[in-house]
């Protein structure tokens, strides 16, 4: 998606070690118009999959998931990283590595919001190694839900996440593909 690629090229920062800083428009300060355009594009791509809910991870995936949900008319469920007191004792929980935190994080979903028969579209900010998205897949599958598609704002193609998701047999789409973060450059695929 041209608008997202241009924004990354202008404002994204390669911090080294495979970390791309986009917190000025995606995950700390949000460019709502850009996220709306991304949500509209995801809705166009995934409109015929029959999704009944969108699933994402707290916190960075929420903006693109919500804007996609608005355009598809669906609810969003986000996996929490901490269990609030309002959540029931019995929850769906898995662990996933966090690239930016440098440790494993919990992903927790209440069974009230993810259940058998739900058709899940996963939308997240990054597709890198695929580990976080696979954590979301585990949560959905534990609930008896079916994954129908996966979307990521930004894919770091050099980390192999797409290959890690291939066995799921669902469409995997990203709006901007980064082929290299060597040195201090940001190189785009396509």
Instruction: Encode pLDDT of 137-157 as tens digits.
Output: 999 999 999 999 999 999 999
pLDDT tens profile 83-123: 888 888 889 999 988 776 778 889 999 999 999 999 999 99
Q: What does the angle CA 100 – CA 162 – CA 115 come to, to the nearest 5 degrees?
A: 80
Domain assignment of residue 10, yes or no: yes
Q: How many residues does the chain have?
A: 190
Domain assignment of residue 108, yes or no: yes
Q: Could you tell me the two tokens for 114?
A: 């993810």
What is the reported pTM?
Answer: 0.95
Domain assignment of residue 113, yes or no: yes
Q: Domain range for residue 66? A: 2-179
In whole angstroms, give the CA distance from residue 180 to residue 177: 9
For residue 174, what is the domain's CATH number?
A: 3.40.50.2020
In whole angstroms, give the CA distance from residue 137 to residue 182: 30
Span 52-75, mean pLDDT? 96
């Amino acid at each position: 998606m041209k608008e997202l690629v241009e924004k990354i090229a202008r404002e994204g920062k390669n911090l080294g070690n495979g970390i791309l800083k986009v917190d000025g428009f995606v995950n700390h300060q949000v460019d709502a118009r850009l996220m709306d355009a991304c949500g509209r594009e995801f809705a166009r791509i995934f409109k015929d999959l029959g999704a009944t809910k969108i699933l994402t991870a707290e916190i960075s995936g929420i903006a693109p998931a919500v804007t996609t949900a608005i355009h598809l008319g669906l609810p969003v469920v986000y996996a929490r990283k901490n269990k609030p007191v309002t959540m029931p004792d019995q929850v769906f929980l898995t662990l996933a590595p966090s690239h930016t935190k440098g440790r494993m994080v919990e992903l927790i979903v209440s069974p009230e919001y993810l259940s058998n028969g739900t058709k899940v579209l996963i939308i997240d900010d990054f597709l890198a190694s695929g580990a976080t998205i696979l954590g979301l897949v585990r949560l959905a599958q534990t609930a008896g839900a079916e994954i129908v598609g996966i979307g990521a704002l930004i894919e770091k193609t050099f980390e192999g996440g797409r290959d890690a998701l291939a066995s799921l047999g669902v469409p995997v789409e990203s709006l901007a593909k980064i082929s290299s973060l060597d040195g201090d450059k940001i190189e785009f695929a396509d």
